[in-house]
Structure 1
Amino acid sequence: MDELDLLREYASVFGKGTVYHYYIFSKGDFTEGLREAQVRGEVRLVTLQDLY
């Protein structure tokens, strides 16, 4: 979840728009918290396998 919080912080710096789409890429797996956030529609998780 630290990664998602960091992305949100970076997005707030830009201050433009009201809708943000967050993507996190990983060669491995994601934490349970990030997987739950994806189910809630807060982030899109992309694995290396998804790219191929």
Structure 2
Amino acid sequence: MDELDLIRDYASVFGKGNHYHYYIFSKGGFTDGLLQAQECGEVRLITLEDLYK
């Protein structure tokens, strides 16, 4: 969740819009918190396997 919070902070400082799409890439997997955030539609989690589909 720290990664998602950091991305949100960056968007609030550098972003220009009101609606953002967040993507987090990982080759090692994701925490339960990030998986739950994805289920709620807050973030899209991309694995290395997803890149090769």
Shorter-chain TM range is over 0.9
What does the per-residue CA deviation read over 1:1-47, in whole Å, with 9 as the maximum and x for residues that have no partner? 00000000000002411100000000111000000000000000000
| Structural RMSD (CA) | 0.7
What are the residue-to-residue correspondences of 1:1-52 with 2, within 5 Å? 1-52=1-52
- Structure 2 portions without partners, runs of 5+: none
1:6 is matched by which residue type in structure 2? L
- Structure 1 portions without partners, runs of 5+: none
Q: What TM-score do the two structures reach when normalised by structure 1?
A: 0.96
State the distance in 2 between where 1:50 and 1:16 align. 29
What is the count of residue pairs matched by the alignment?
52
Identity score, percent: 77
Runs of 4+ in 1 over 6 A off after TM superposition: none
State the distance in 1 between where 2:50 and 2:20 align. 21
